[in-house]
């Protein structure tokens, strides 16, 4: 297959520096950003989320890496401006040396694991901006040498995936900022209500990663790479900003920071 792109549109654009939002009039030329994604879904929630920063002056193309043949991969790696690791099934505990914990997991998808490994290897090599959401954060942590709790309910109860009417496993809880993450305009101590939907979570933090946001029970909910020179934007969030209510403190700044980083590295 060739490159499959979904072009999204919107009414405003993330500015090139900081976490503010600038108007379309402030952008002189049309930009095109290609985002290589570990997987996209029929719901198109990720397209719609990043589409908030698209306009007549900015086009975003989201590419599903799972739909690419080898030629498509090579073209995508050459032309993409950023990587988005989306949510999905549990990671194989064998990736972090605990294969016996597989019995505690839900659906495991080795092909998806290999796709994300390839994407993260490329991010490590090039420093291209990378945003990991839910499973994406978990794989970023594992790829950096960390481990996961394969079954959060044992110690954390139902806070992170219990079930709400109309959405079988979603929960709503607050997330608090405990450190300033490079590339996102937030302040320590502020909180945001978010949608959470995950079965695994960070146990041992990966090397060179820092925690910048936590859940009320102390679970790491936001991570960032400590090497900000090589990684201008390497951010993972355990919650789902693409499914959380708009205008929440930890929803728009995440997407704006990602788009801004891609624009900055494109220059």
Residue positions counted in the chain: 267
What the block records as the tokens of 128 is 């291209």
Q: Are 1 and 242 in contact (CB under 8 A)?
A: no
Q: Which position among 143, 182, 199, 240 bears the catalytic label?
A: 240
Told to judge if 134 belongs to the known catalytic residues of this protein, a careful annotator would answer yes
Q: Which position among 116, 221, 242, 252 bears the catalytic label?
A: 242
Q: Which position among 15, 134, 143, 182 bears the catalytic label?
A: 134
Q: Which of 237, 207, 99, 60 is closest to 146 using CA atoms? A: 207
Q: What phi and psi, each to the nearest 5 degrees, are found at residue 24?
A: -60, -35
Interstrand relation of 130-133 and 82-85 (parallel, antiparallel or unpaired)? parallel
Bridge partners of 84, per DSSP, are 37, 131
Q: Which of 48, 47, 53, 83 is closest to 265 using CA atoms? A: 83
Told to judge if 197 belongs to the known catalytic residues of this protein, a careful annotator would answer no
Which residues are marked as active site?
134, 240, 242
């Amino acid at each position: 297959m060739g490159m499959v792109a979904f072009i999204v549109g919107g009414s405003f654009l993330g500015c090139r520096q900081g976490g503010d939002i600038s108007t379309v009039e402030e952008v002189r030329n049309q930009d095109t950003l290609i985002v290589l994604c570990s997987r996209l879904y029929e719901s198109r929630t990720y397209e719609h989320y990043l589409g908030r920063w698209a306009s007549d002056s900015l086009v975003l193309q989201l590419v599903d890496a799972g739909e690419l043949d080898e030629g498509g991969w090579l073209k995508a790696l050459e032309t993409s401006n950023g990587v988005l690791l989306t949510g999905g099934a549990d990671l194989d505990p064998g990736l972090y040396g605990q294969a016996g914990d597989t019995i505690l997991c839900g659906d495991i998808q080795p092909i998806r694991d290999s796709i994300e490994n390839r994407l993260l290897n490329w991010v490590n090599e090039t420093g291209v901006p990378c945003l990991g959401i839910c499973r994406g954060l978990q794989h970023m942590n594992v790829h950096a040498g960390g481990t996961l709790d394969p079954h959060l309910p044992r110690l954390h109860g139902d806070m992170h995936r219990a079930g709400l009417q109309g959405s079988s496993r979603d929960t709503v809880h607050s997330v608090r900022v405990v450190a300033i993450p490079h590339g996102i305009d937030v302040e320590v101590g502020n909180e945001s209500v978010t949608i959470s939907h995950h079965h695994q979570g960070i146990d041992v933090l990966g090397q060179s990663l820092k925690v910048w946001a936590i859940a009320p029970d102390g679970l790491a909910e936001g991570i960032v790479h400590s090497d900000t020179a090589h990684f201008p934007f390497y951010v993972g969030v355990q919650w789902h900003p693409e499914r959380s209510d708009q205008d929440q403190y930890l929803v728009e700044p995440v997407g704006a920071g990602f788009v801004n980083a891609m624009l900055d590295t494109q220059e």
